[in-house]
Structure 1
Amino acid sequence: MDLKAFIPSCAGTHLSYDERAFFARERPCGLILFARNCQSPDQIRALVASFKEALGSDEVLVLVDQEGGRVQRLRPPHWRNMPPARCYGDLYDTDPEAAKRAAFAGARLMAAELYAIGINVNCTPCLDVPQPGAHDIIGDRAFSPDPDVIIALGRAVMEGTLAGGVLPVIKHVPGHGRALADSHLALPRIDASEAELEAVDFRPFRALRDAPLAMTAHVLLPAFDERRPATVSPAIMGKVIRDSIGLTGLVMSDDIGMQALGGPYAERTSAVIAAGCDVVLHCSGRLLEMIEVAGAAPPLDGLAGERFAHARAAFREPQPFDKEEALALVTEAAATRVASLGKDPTVQA
């Protein structure tokens, strides 16, 4: 495939001449989109087509963060608002089976919208286990504080996404739920013991270790590595993520532009790959940064290439589903948060 092990973004709603030339020359294995890149369905389809045309390949990943709730890049009027993951966890407390059906339905609805515009990867579900006093960067993006609930609902979201012809990404391995800081702004230090992390934080990732794609957490875990965040730690990538948790799929970094990591972008890229991540994610859309990342990113070959091919092999043709029934299930789940949120949970049709 002759692709490189990095996934950048772009600056706007259309590729500039320089961006097209950069993508043609450097051949990243994917593209991640943000709200700045998303204006309308036709515009996104054209953007995705121009990216693939620049590479001369359809064998690439096109990603977006469409979790529902706060983290949702595609919004009305062209795409429906969806509730946060926690609404499914709230429903699970009273009706586990209904919660799993609703979580599957919500993921299936979002996958249908993404598939229709050429986006083939949704960066969900979030499998972090939130702890009391933690920073609210995760908050209601997490299904529940209970790992068993996260496992059940994470599996439902993963299967609902796959049923819609889109690949899911489990995140943020090995766990961001205890972090006291937002890794976009600082490096969180998590002082839990190895036994505590194994018993709680790692469990959802271990249960869903067959996921085709995963994304790392930029967190410091002194129980395993006192100096390097998980994303750039060979000990954590190897001993924890691959060996203990047992992930078999392609592992990408979280955005290397986040302030939890430091140093020039070439150094960050090299450190991510050296630690054992398969692919580097860079999200700012700034061309000069992208050039630096691309210069340090290796070809997507060896084990990383095999994992990329295995992930692509997980694509399925979308399965038929009843959209109205799915909307009803999700709306029922969203309604469980009326009292705690104090606002209308209506899911837009």
Structure 2
Amino acid sequence: MVVGVSNYDQARFALDQGAGGLIIPSWADPGLLTDEGRNINALRAEYDRPFSVAIDFEGGRVQRHSGVLGDFMPPRVLAGMPPEVIQGTGYDIGVSLRAHGINVDYAPLLDLDVTNLDIVGDRSFHGAPDEVVRIGGLFSQGLFDAGVTPTFKHFPGHGRASGDTHHQLAITPPLEDVRGLDMVPYGPLLERFPHASVMMGHMIVPGMGEDGVPSSLNPEAYRVLREGDYPGGVPFNGVVVTDDLSGMRGLLDYTPTPEAVKRAIVAGADQALWSSGTDLPYIIDLVTGAVMSGEIPMARVDEAATRVQQQLIDGGL
């Protein structure tokens, strides 16, 4: 479980409950990054187990706490820069994140900007899959060189969705159309970066598993990603994290956060993410009960924990 925390005390509480990861949301106290003795680095010194700390930091309009971590150009602008600048920007972002205890970046975005969807827009590198692969690869290499794990998002592809999942559930073109275009960047990048993470989006893909189920809760979406069942796809055994299960109206209108966390783990998520961080003890009890009843097989929990642990080892934690 990856939960949002606003300050040092909330972070300690989440870790004491057994959360495996934290996410630093935009509304967090910047002191969580800067206050000596009460920041993420202090928590890392205090706890004798590794844990992930993630943030949304793409550059441009999605860069949390830029007053502390730095201000970087939007991905679309970065895409027009020379290769060394693209990779160097990824590295500079990674160095700043890592210095503040953050070891996972929920970037780069691989969604294709092909329908002028505002939520994608200049967050997208390009509308052509090969260019997204080229630019995303350079940016990701920079993050890796700085010791930060990149996260490719939002599988299976948000670029042609019917709207913004922050506000309502969005529907993509049919599965075969999405396979042939939106998923294409993932194969080459996951082949090159098998230790990256992938974020599973909330989009509904017609023809993918049960009708009307968001990808983040849909076992078939995880199967397609794991098996590389799309053009140029490769099998992927790294960490898959959900998009936010608490801060996006589309998903909340479908099911409340506690049930979404449970269903995401059943479906195949290795990390269930909710930025509000609320109800953590209750959700832990809910998931534990589902394991004890057999609704969530113990093998599902074991494989998820193993992947997360391996990512932390690969990241030097």
**Cα root mean square deviation, aligned:** 2.3
Structure with larger Rg? 1
Tell me, yes or no, if the aligned pair for 1:15 and 1:51 is still in contact at 8 Å: no
Give the Cα separation in 2 of the matches to 1:315 and 1:304: 17
Match of 2:4? 9
Partner of 1:268, secondary structure, is: helix
> Which residue identity does 2:244 align to in structure 1?
D
Offset of residue 264 of structure 1: 2.9
Match of 2:294? none
Partner of 2:132, secondary structure, is: helix
Match of 1:259? 249
Structure 1, unpaired ranges of 5+: 1-5, 92-97, 318-349
Tell me, yes or no, if the aligned pair for 1:167 and 1:314 is still in contact at 8 Å: no
> Which residue identity does 1:69 align to in structure 2?
G
Alignment CA distance shift 1:86-1:154 (3 Å): same
Tell me, yes or no, if the aligned pair for 1:29 and 1:60 is still in contact at 8 Å: yes
> Which residue identity does 1:176 align to in structure 2?
H
Match of 1:199? 180
Match of 1:143? 125
Q: Percent identity among equivalent residues?
A: 25
1:185 lines up with 2:167 in the alignment = yes
Match of 2:196? 212
TM-score, normalised to structure 1, is 0.78
> Which residue identity does 1:251 align to in structure 2?
V
Tell me, yes or no, if the aligned pair for 1:67 and 1:123 is still in contact at 8 Å: yes
Residue deviations 1:280-323, cap 9 Å, x none? 001013x3x33333233458842212211321232269xxxxxx
Partner of 1:305, secondary structure, is: helix
Tell me, yes or no, if the aligned pair for 2:240 and 2:269 is still in contact at 8 Å: yes
Offset of residue 255 of structure 1: 0.6
Match of 1:230? 215
Match of 1:28? 19
Q: Alignment length, in residue pairs? A: 295
Tell me, yes or no, if the aligned pair for 1:215 and 1:252 is still in contact at 8 Å: yes
Partner of 1:279, secondary structure, is: coil
Match of 1:123? 106
Give the Cα separation in 2 of the matches to 1:229 and 1:66: 24
Residue deviations 1:105-124, cap 9 Å, x none? 11101111111111111111
TM-score, normalised to structure 2, is 0.85
Moved more, 104-113 or 307-316: 307-316
Give the Cα separation in 2 of the matches to 1:259 and 1:32: 19
Alignment CA distance shift 1:45-1:252 (3 Å): farther
Give the Cα separation in 2 of the matches to 1:272 and 1:143: 28
Match of 2:303? 303
Tell me, yes or no, if the aligned pair for 1:128 and 1:171 is still in contact at 8 Å: yes
Give the Cα separation in 1 of the matches to 2:37 and 2:23: 14
Offset of residue 212 of structure 1: 2.5
Tell me, yes or no, if the aligned pair for 1:169 and 1:211 is still in contact at 8 Å: no
Offset of residue 263 of structure 1: 2.3
Structure 2, unpaired ranges of 5+: 289-297
Alignment CA distance shift 1:114-1:62 (3 Å): same
Residue deviations 1:45-102, cap 9 Å, x none? 7331464477x334110111111000000223x33210111113334xxxxxx2x222
Which structure carries more relative contact order (alpha carbon 8 Å, separation 6+)? 1
